[in-house]
Chain A
């Protein structure tokens, strides 16, 4: 049941980046990876052919939270960690809207971890962009739930003793139906991932490695900088053997069944893993663990994409069925339900 008259989504051929860009000064630190992400998202959205009037951005607290104010769409800058909850309400109430959530490693994985996993489990029709810079930037440099063990920060002068989350593995564990990773400065790759996320029906989780040049500069250099990036990015493509480093290395099935990084030359071709986004989650989970940190060869791209009923649609279907079975609700009848008696 749609509560508003359906309007055609398409505004064919008329949208540009400008239509999605708010008339506000952007206030991230100069050199922040967020600028590149913002520009890529603003450039990508026109291709969806959806009026900005039908798009909602929802964010939490942290540097990523400001994203909402820079998008000329409907937007809510919420409270710390709760963006997936707000977005669940919006997307479930209004299946006609396109709802995007912008969060960070602190916002989404620490204070808001519960909402994130439940939004993924329910398969709410929202696209979640998690900017992972492995640090708390807005509060000026404490370790985050993705910071490496031993990380020295203001709150961990002797090094962090926390073990970090692997965001991709976490999303997979939460039964997410779409899980991907990309990198802030790779506009082409990010656009490709956003395209697939936008096309996915249900919750899409996209981790974006984002450089914080003030508090955690260089955390992803091995992957995002030339020339080493070329050697260390394992680009996942559905249906293709997982080969990287200009064809020299691959992800292969080791003797004990575990995935290993191997030289293509010495690996029997049937041992090279062929990527399958629709298959069992264990492959995606193993791929998420080919590296512990972005300081080794690391997978980027879409890890998993499967179909499952979309949360709001399932709810609407129950309403439709109940209405078919019982007729549209009649308030007078409801008030008179049960035993009644008349006083004259």
Chain B
């Protein structure tokens, strides 16, 4: 029997199961095969804070969403077209998000009384009409997997563990994904454990063949490759891109990278990635606490390394004092905040972008510092280099904002030429700068002070948290303090001369509404604007990459539109800044649900604002 093949432009699939079911891995593998096939894609891992929540419960559901397309896409999609649910809890947790009439593939074997009860179903949703209107495929994944691997002599429990590979095989068939990418990966991963390897391969193939041979599935789908700029591509997550960006900054500056950090979700990934890159001379140090991590990074900077610390919101609270010291010491240092839902422990595995004001102002005293915010997974690479460049060039700590969504999600990334990356010149002080004297706070044209590292003959100096005068001596003089406060502010403000202007995307030049964003809302804003434009309406967009200082033309841009709409995963922090700085009546749009803003939601909001 030859099955029909239909073409689709874009598909959103959500894999959902118990947190022990390997859904993140399944999603990851599907993503890689999809990337290699040449689709554009965006992913959204969504998992619980508990490592192993009680099996079968709704709060233990782990999900992975991917949107892939034959055209340029910017978000992981609002509503899945396809849900793969490995148990009743996954169905319960995810059903609401599935598009009306969407496809639901369930592991039928898991819909037994005990699991239904754990998911608080009083009757079986496969039979009681809950799924009316959806295209439902009931596949006994567990039992077929067990049969497929039964010759390998595994225990039943071990055999069942491969059912995620069955699901992957089945969905790979449905969407014509290349099998060799997954099979090669299994070889690499389990090549030295033949039994595990064989079981995974058998389950994967069983899933693929199940789609191809049974009559349950009549159609498979083809999503052709998306047009893309020529080049070599790979798939990259924000966390990986950030790690590679830091290494790139180290290579391009000649400064050894020193990364000190304390484990915290979701920033630990960065520590893990960097600790593997020792042959780049990278030093990673897992500190005793967040405070020490910042102090150690700052110490390394004083000693002439590229000192970097990374954390999430709760760690930022603790690092504030050290960051304040770095502001006064005027040493290069980068502080990475992978934001998550707060306050306090909040929702540790869920995304939010609510540390913007903290990055700008979260220290006592007048302590200005530059802030850069990454806006796509791939852009995390450039943002890391940019933060390091500003830190070194302007002798200042820099906050680099990422978030859980950016960190965990991935997209195809055109690999840059190493020679095209910025060169960062440390410009170490090598000799006296005032006759025969060395003044550690004598400033250059950027108002930056010299970086004289210990061991440099004749440049001995003592710096510290106490206020000092322009020669570097301690001073308690009031007017001097005011002068130094203005100088530190002017130094940071002057960075505006060293960053590009804010670009506006206003294709026909007739838009009256500007959607201004920052951080990971970039994809959503672009997707929503495209939808609005597809309706024949005009809307402009702009995205702030530098949050302090703002690009010089920011005021001009926001004043040029009748209305400025600012969507944020917070209560309106950028909106507050724009209103305060430019006296523009910016309209905020907030979503604080631990999830990215959906393009459809923003589209509706834009239309409302246009009509108001």
Contact = CB atoms under 8 A, between A and B. Distances in A.
B95 interface: no
Contact of B277 (A89, A96, A334): A334
Interface string B259-300: 010000000000000000111111101011101101111111
B580 interface: no
B304 interface: yes
A338 B464 CA distance: 45
Contacts of A138: none
A328 to B, nearest CB: 6
A55 B298 CA distance: 17
B256 A322 contact: no
Contacts of A157: none
Interface residues of B, number: 68
Contact of A74 (B230, B234, B291, B460): B460
Interface string B460-498: 111111100000001000000000000000000000000
Interface stretch (B32-40, B68-76, B78-86, B545-553): B32-40
Interface in A232-285: none
Interface in A9-53: 22, 51-53
Contacts of B465: 61, 77-79
Nearest to B381: A335
Most buried by B among A1, A22, A71, A334: A334
A344 interface: yes
Contacts of B418: 331-332, 335
Given A78-B465, A85-B291, A88-B299, A93 B278 contact: no
A158 interface: no
Contact of A85 (B256, B296, B415): B296
Given A77-B462, A329-B281, A53 B455 contact: yes
Contacts, number: 216
B278 A323 contact: yes
A51 B298 CA distance: 24
A192 interface: no
A4 interface: yes
Given A69-B474, A344-B230, A1 B279 contact: no
Contacts of B415: 335-336, 340
Please report whether the interface of chain B is mostly helix, strand, loop or mixed according to DSSP.
mixed
A118 B278 contact: no
Contacts of B244: 334-335
Given A69-B462, A75-B462, A76-B302, A328 B295 contact: no
B5 interface: no
Nearest to B276: A322
Interface in B222-269: 228-235, 244, 247-248, 251, 256, 258, 260
B283 A4 contact: no
A89 B466 CA distance: 21
A58 B416 CA distance: 41
B300 A89 contact: yes
B464 A69 contact: yes
Contact of A89 (B247, B278, B298, B456): B298
A51 B228 CA distance: 59
Given A3-B256, A22-B462, A335-B244, A94 B292 contact: no
Most buried by B among A94, A114, A315, A325: A94
Contacts of A51: 457
A77 B463 contact: yes
Nearest to A111: B291
B140 interface: no
Contact of B296 (A56, A57, A89, A337): A89
Contacts of B302: 76, 86, 89-90
A31 B181 CA distance: 76
Interface string B193-212: 00000000000000000000
Contact of A79 (B38, B258, B321): B321
Contact of A86 (B256, B280, B295, B304): B295
Contacts of A1: 281
A327 interface: yes
B432 interface: no
Interface in A276-329: 315, 318-319, 321-323, 325-329
B304 to A, nearest CB: 7
Contact of A54 (B232, B307, B329, B455): B455
Given A53-B460, A77-B463, A319 B278 contact: yes
A82 B297 CA distance: 12
B454 A114 contact: no
B460 A52 contact: yes
Given A92-B296, A93-B299, A339 B281 contact: no
Interface string A80-117: 00100111111111101100000000000000001100
B233 A343 contact: yes
A68 interface: yes
Given A54-B455, A90-B299, A342-B231, 10 more contacts: A69-B464, A76-B302, A79-B321, A79-B465, A85-B299, A89-B295, A89-B301, A94-B303, A319-B283, A339-B234
Interface of A: 1, 3-4, 7, 22, 51-59, 61, 65, 68-69, 71-79, 82, 85-94, 96-97, 114-115, 118, 315, 318-319, 321-323, 325-329, 331-332, 334-344
8 contacts: A3-B304, A53-B458, A71-B462, A85-B291, A91-B299, A93-B303, A97-B455, A325-B279
The 5 A-B pairs of least Cβ separation, nearest first, read: A89-B299, A77-B464, A85-B295, A329-B280, A75-B462
